[in-house]
Chain A
Amino acid sequence: MKELVLTQKTLAAVKQSLIDGLTVASGAKSSATYYHGKDEQLKAIQTQIKGMYKLSKELPLIVASQKGATGKFVAEVLLNEFQNTLKGGACNIVNPIDWYDNGLSDKAVLTALNNLGENGLPYVLRLFVDLKASKVNNERSRKIMLGFLWGQSNLEFYVMKYRNKIAEIMRHVYGKRMTSVLLSIAQKQVNLEGANLVGTEKEINIVNEHILRYFNGDSVRAFKLLLFIFKKDAGVTYKASEFPLLSEYQKARTDITGIKNVPEEVLLGLISSVKHPQYHTMWTSDIQKEATKALIRKNVQVTSVNQQVRQTKSTAKLGVEKTVDLEKATDFLALYKTGYENGWTDELQNAIDKLADKKKIVGFFYQNIGIIVDDSNSMTGNKVESKNTPKAIADFTARVLGKSAQTSLATKTDGEVTDLASSFVQLLKAENPSKPYDAIFILTDGYENAYDGLTNEVISIWKAETGRDIPMFQISPITSAEMGANVRKIGQNVVTMAINNPVALQPQINARLLEIDTKRWLENQVLALEAAPVKRTKKISINA
């Protein structure tokens, strides 16, 4: 990489944009918050991204590549990038030679896409569908979509679970005509059942260009998957040795009892169709439906642990006894929501504790910390869309923080309204003089009820009277649309951060360091992008 082209003139604007962008990226979700509608949240995210892009086109992608960036934010960044095409916008940070000619642009896009995939494959598929809706179908976007889809190591499972969506995306990418050509070649080739691709030179070139350059496997396997995706698989044989999942799916088309490796929602889709041979015996009355759901829930073994935790309530309602190894769950929200809604068990508490331990920040900058958790009613989140989400984020973050520091003291606000000032004083009273706090973390949505600014007044006086100037972080599990998807600040004495997952904590804290040396921070990010092992074609490693 050559030197950054960032000028002193734009440095201040870039710095502020980065700080705001990181906050929005880590906090703004697609769902409604307690206070704001989905549309308002989205509009605020888009405004932030457009602002960053205008300043320098690399900025949104750099922010979207950070760990802990929300799926919605990353998806919007990529949508914006593809809409503006490769040549759109201006590079004011990275040398354009590096960006365009040396492949940094691709690496940035693919790193962001991988980051999006970390949130789950549906996020990526939704982005691709959004690209279709936005009529984005340029060469770069096509190649990246095909590379991503055909590069999935677990493609057999995904085509079964997300069949229609993947078909919709591929039809958009290939176009109607090319889809038809590929399916025609595939049908012909599958009937031959040969391992080697046979056809005219033109056909071979088409298949190589549109499928095999992206796919890790032989052409027949690719063709069989393609025919399945586009529901042209009648008469195609999926042997259990080659397609363990699709072969079961084929069985399930006539008999769903005893099926273990087909996702629950797919089986429900099959049996609820009047064309299914078992429909009249298994799906016509409410009693039959409940019994069938219970049977499926009991048999299916491909449901992720996180999903199983989320299903705790419905599994019990169906009368199914299923042992879930809670300690294998990685989704803290699922664990917490199960606890809030179904009551806490020792097993659940232990699982959360162990997960917090796994997520603790290695090399955490602060040793002795104080933590205040806002436990007021507004932290329960939006009634419909995100019940208890902010509360779960705050509770888990407090636990992760506690695990990350050497010593920590935590206090929760008392009562139903937000009284952070009293909690702050309680925290000070509990401080161990031999291990004074070197940072205080306040986990709150930022709306004080006693009166706006009370906590800030208390902190100001404490700082002035004691001469102590330790960092105070306000961590908000929600961002507010009125603040441009940023955090509503309780006062000047705190540094704000928005997080939706404690994973975002360290990057957020690190981001504060960019205030000291923005240029160096940017250089490190660009170097990290440059070193990212990502390619458009073949195998994109996604742990979805």
Chain B
Amino acid sequence: MNKREFTELLKGCRPVKDRDGNIIVQSIMNMQIVCLTTDKEYSLDERFANPLSSLQSSNSSYGQISFANKADKEVILPTQMAVMTKQSAQNHGMTKAGYLEKFANVTYHDAGCVQGGQTGYFRGTQEFRMLPVTMREMVFDTVGQPSGYHRIYPAIQKLGQDTQSNAGNYLNVYFEKYDKKLEQFIAHFERPRNLIGIIVLVDGEIVAVDKFPSFTYAEQVWDLMIRDCYGSLAIISELKNKSSMKNFTETYSDLKKSHQENIVDLLERALKKTKKSMTDSVQEKIQELLELTFDATLDTEGNPSSVSKAPKSYMLKTEGYIGQVITENEFNHLVSVVKRERFDPNALRTVNELRNKARKQEKFSL
């Protein structure tokens, strides 16, 4: 086991900002996303093939998924991809991300069923979706555990409760109920050019961070990430009747009390301040994450071993967060981190506060 700093995981990345230097925050209800970008040289556009079109998936046993890479390029499997097939077969989900060499055939034995009592194996399919991000924590927790083909069921059951979809052990029930809404959800967010990663916040707290291997890769998986993965957060927010804050109106009212300038100038000032406060809030949350250090455990089930020179997979754990990194010679191709639901970031704040105080204290001396 070794350690990984959060700052190291996202090195080279920076939030996309507007002309005034504010982080561009896109919002819907109580959910926000911040897009990350990087310098062109750190986007490995030519190296990896499109995971959604290069892979064909089959299986011959419950709880496993095999991928055949048909491309003459390596493939990074996105985090927790699912096979939701029309074939008469049991749908399956991956519990993590993965790495495949060009033209490789790889079997992951730590996948899980996501369709209750359905029987049958699928063959040569590209019917890929992604597990909702709200399942990510529970599913990551099963990696390395000997829990068998049913390892993903508890996470589906929880999703069913959270989204009032009565999904039971059937992920397809959730998708069938909300597919139309999820499709529309894509429209609410715009993918900036040169996207390399995404930070997702709910109620002002960071709940997920994803970093992709390249701009091209980010473009390829964007719709799936927004619709299948993050869409569940919006569904849950809607069920809880969460809404956007009227930040601007409040800011304007406050400014009006202390400023006598003309209305248009005041509107401009209020708008800038609104954006600035959104930026500051997000910046503060990201800043808190920078203090995190993860325990990293090498994951070799389906992924390259410690002696291989290929990119390696590490599972990441720390108090409050869990995730995975696919890394090669200290270059992180894919990072996927999610906040544990039970975790209250305020606890982290207290710890950080004390830690910072401790750093400032002088050493004991007489």
- Does chain A have a CB within 8 A of B264? yes
Query: Are A447 and B188 within 8 A (Cβ)?
Result: yes
Supposing A416-B193, A419-B18, A451-B244 touch, asked if A36 and B183 sit within 8 A by C-beta, the answer is yes
Residue of chain B at shortest CB distance from A449 = B26
Give the contacts of A453-488 with B (CB-CB under 8 A). Answer: 453-454, 457-458, 460-462, 465-466, 480-482
Which residues on the A side are within 8 Å of B252 (C-beta)? 461
Supposing A377-B191, A417-B24, A466-B263 touch, asked if A453 and B244 sit within 8 A by C-beta, the answer is yes
Residue of chain A at shortest CB distance from B252 = A461
Query: Are B271 and A418 within 8 A (Cβ)?
Result: no
Q: Give Cα distance in the complex from A428 to B264, angstroms.
A: 7
- Does chain A have a CB within 8 A of B53? no
0/1 per residue, A100-136, Cβ < 8 Å to B? 0000000000000000000000000000000000000
- Does chain A have a CB within 8 A of B28? yes
Query: Are B192 and A458 within 8 A (Cβ)?
Result: no
Query: Are B27 and A451 within 8 A (Cβ)?
Result: yes
Query: Are B184 and A458 within 8 A (Cβ)?
Result: no
Q: Give Cα distance in the complex from A425 to B268, angstroms.
A: 6
Supposing A453-B244, A480-B187 touch, asked if A416 and B28 sit within 8 A by C-beta, the answer is no
Residue of chain A at shortest CB distance from B272 = A422
Which residues on the A side are within 8 Å of B19 (C-beta)? 414-415
**Contact of A458 (CB < 8 Å), options: B27, B244, B248, B278:** B248
Query: Shortest Cβ distance from B109 into chain A, in angstroms?
Result: 36
Query: Shortest Cβ distance from A156 into chain B, in angstroms?
Result: 47
Residue of chain A at shortest CB distance from B248 = A457
Query: Shortest Cβ distance from A413 into chain B, in angstroms?
Result: 11
Residue of chain A at shortest CB distance from B266 = A465
Supposing A34-B187, A458-B267 touch, asked if A377 and B248 sit within 8 A by C-beta, the answer is no
- Does chain A have a CB within 8 A of B247? yes
Query: Are B248 and A35 within 8 A (Cβ)?
Result: no
Query: Are B190 and A417 within 8 A (Cβ)?
Result: yes
Give the contacts of A416-453 with B (CB-CB under 8 A). Answer: 416-419, 421-422, 425, 428-429, 445, 447, 449-453
**Contact of A377 (CB < 8 Å), options: B190, B249, B264, B275:** B190
Q: Give Cα distance in the complex from A405 to B275, angstroms.
A: 34
Q: Give Cα distance in the complex from A465 to B191, angstroms.
A: 35
Query: Are B268 and A447 within 8 A (Cβ)?
Result: no
Q: List residues of B whose CB falls within 8 A of some A CB.
A: 16, 18-19, 24-28, 180, 183-184, 186-193, 244-249, 252, 263-264, 267-268, 271, 274-275, 278
Which residues on the A side are within 8 Å of B25 (C-beta)? 450
Query: Are B192 and A417 within 8 A (Cβ)?
Result: yes
0/1 per residue, A394-424, Cβ < 8 Å to B? 0000000000000000000011111101100
Query: Are A449 and B189 within 8 A (Cβ)?
Result: yes
Which residues on the B side are within 8 Å of A422 (C-beta)? 271
- Does chain B have a CB within 8 A of A378? yes
- Does chain B have a CB within 8 A of A376? yes
Give the contacts of A24-38 with B (CB-CB under 8 A). Answer: 34-37
Which residues on the A side are within 8 Å of B188 (C-beta)? 447, 449, 452
Query: Are A378 and B267 within 8 A (Cβ)?
Result: no
Supposing A417-B26, A461-B252 touch, asked if A451 and B187 sit within 8 A by C-beta, the answer is no
Q: Give Cα distance in the complex from A451 to B271, angstroms.
A: 12
Residue of chain A at shortest CB distance from B20 = A422
Which residues on the B side are within 8 Å of A453 (C-beta)? 244, 246
Query: Are B248 and A421 within 8 A (Cβ)?
Result: yes
Residue of chain B at shortest CB distance from A459 = B267
Query: Shortest Cβ distance from B280 into chain A, in angstroms?
Result: 15
**Contact of B263 (CB < 8 Å), options: A36, A457, A465:** A465
Query: Are A462 and B27 within 8 A (Cβ)?
Result: no
**Contact of B187 (CB < 8 Å), options: A35, A425, A429, A450:** A35
Given A37-B183, A458-B248, 11 further pairs, Cβ under 8 A: A35-B187, A378-B187, A414-B19, A415-B18, A416-B192, A447-B187, A449-B27, A449-B190, A457-B249, A462-B267, A482-B180
Query: Are A450 and B193 within 8 A (Cβ)?
Result: no
Query: Shortest Cβ distance from B242 into chain A, in angstroms?
Result: 12
Query: Are B267 and A428 within 8 A (Cβ)?
Result: yes
Residue of chain B at shortest CB distance from A483 = B184
Residue of chain A at shortest CB distance from B33 = A449
Which residues on the B side are within 8 Å of A462 (C-beta)? 263-264, 267
Which residues on the B side are within 8 Å of A460 (C-beta)? 249
Name the residue among B18, B186, B187, B249 with the largest chain A CB count within 10 angstroms.
Answer: B187
- How many chain A residues touch B (Cβ–Cβ < 8 Å)? 36
Query: Are A421 and B244 within 8 A (Cβ)?
Result: no
Q: Give Cα distance in the complex from A458 to B275, angstroms.
A: 13
Query: Are A35 and B184 within 8 A (Cβ)?
Result: yes
Residue of chain B at shortest CB distance from A454 = B248
Query: Shortest Cβ distance from B177 into chain A, in angstroms?
Result: 16
**Contact of B192 (CB < 8 Å), options: A377, A428, A451, A461:** A377
Q: Would you list the 7 A-B pairs with minimal beta carbon distance, nearest first?
A: A451-B27, A35-B187, A449-B26, A416-B192, A482-B184, A457-B248, A451-B244
Query: Are B244 and A452 within 8 A (Cβ)?
Result: yes
Query: Are A35 and B244 within 8 A (Cβ)?
Result: no
Query: Are B267 and A461 within 8 A (Cβ)?
Result: yes
Q: Give Cα distance in the complex from A481 to B184, angstroms.
A: 9
Query: Shortest Cβ distance from B231 into chain A, in angstroms?
Result: 14
- Please list 13 pairs of residues, one from A and one from B, whose beta carbons are closer than 8 Å in the complex, sorted by A's number: A378-B187, A417-B24, A425-B271, A428-B267, A447-B187, A449-B24, A449-B27, A449-B188, A450-B27, A450-B278, A452-B188, A454-B274, A458-B267
**Contact of B186 (CB < 8 Å), options: A35, A428, A429:** A35
Query: Shortest Cβ distance from B11 into chain A, in angstroms?
Result: 24
Which residues on the B side are within 8 Å of A465 (C-beta)? 263
Residue of chain A at shortest CB distance from B253 = A461
Query: Are A451 and B190 within 8 A (Cβ)?
Result: no
Query: Shortest Cβ distance from A261 into chain B, in angstroms?
Result: 44
Which residues on the B side are within 8 Å of A445 (C-beta)? 187
Residue of chain B at shortest CB distance from A446 = B187
Q: Give Cα distance in the complex from A415 to B183, angstroms.
A: 25
Name the residue among A429, A451, A457, A458 with the largest chain B CB count within 10 angstroms.
Answer: A451
Which residues on the B side are within 8 Å of A36 (C-beta)? 183-184
Query: Shortest Cβ distance from A451 into chain B, in angstroms?
Result: 4
Q: Give Cα distance in the complex from A34 to B278, angstroms.
A: 28
Residue of chain A at shortest CB distance from B278 = A450
Query: Are A416 and B271 within 8 A (Cβ)?
Result: no
Name the residue among A376, A418, A482 with the largest chain B CB count within 10 angstroms.
Answer: A482
Query: Are A425 and B18 within 8 A (Cβ)?
Result: no
Which residues on the A side are within 8 Å of B247 (C-beta)? 451
Q: Give Cα distance in the complex from A476 to B267, angstroms.
A: 25
Q: Give Cα distance in the complex from A480 to B187, angstroms.
A: 10
Query: Shortest Cβ distance from A498 into chain B, in angstroms?
Result: 15
Which residues on the A side are within 8 Å of B264 (C-beta)? 425, 428-429, 462
Query: Shortest Cβ distance from B349 into chain A, in angstroms?
Result: 25
Query: Are B193 and A377 within 8 A (Cβ)?
Result: yes
Which residues on the A side are within 8 Å of B18 (C-beta)? 414-415, 419
Q: Give Cα distance in the complex from A56 to B245, angstroms.
A: 43
Query: Shortest Cβ distance from A379 into chain B, in angstroms?
Result: 10
Which residues on the B side are within 8 Å of A414 (C-beta)? 18-19
**Contact of A425 (CB < 8 Å), options: B24, B27, B267:** B267
Q: Give Cα distance in the complex from A377 to B267, angstroms.
A: 26
**Contact of B275 (CB < 8 Å), options: A34, A450, A457, A481:** A450
Q: Give Cα distance in the complex from A28 to B60, angstroms.
A: 46
Q: Give Cα distance in the complex from A453 to B188, angstroms.
A: 12
Which residues on the B side are within 8 Å of A417 (C-beta)? 24, 26, 190, 192
Q: Give Cα distance in the complex from A212 to B195, angstroms.
A: 65
Query: Shortest Cβ distance from B329 into chain A, in angstroms?
Result: 32
Residue of chain A at shortest CB distance from B267 = A425
Residue of chain A at shortest CB distance from B17 = A415
Query: Shortest Cβ distance from B123 into chain A, in angstroms?
Result: 27
Query: Shortest Cβ distance from B88 into chain A, in angstroms?
Result: 25
Q: Give Cα distance in the complex from A419 to B249, angstroms.
A: 16
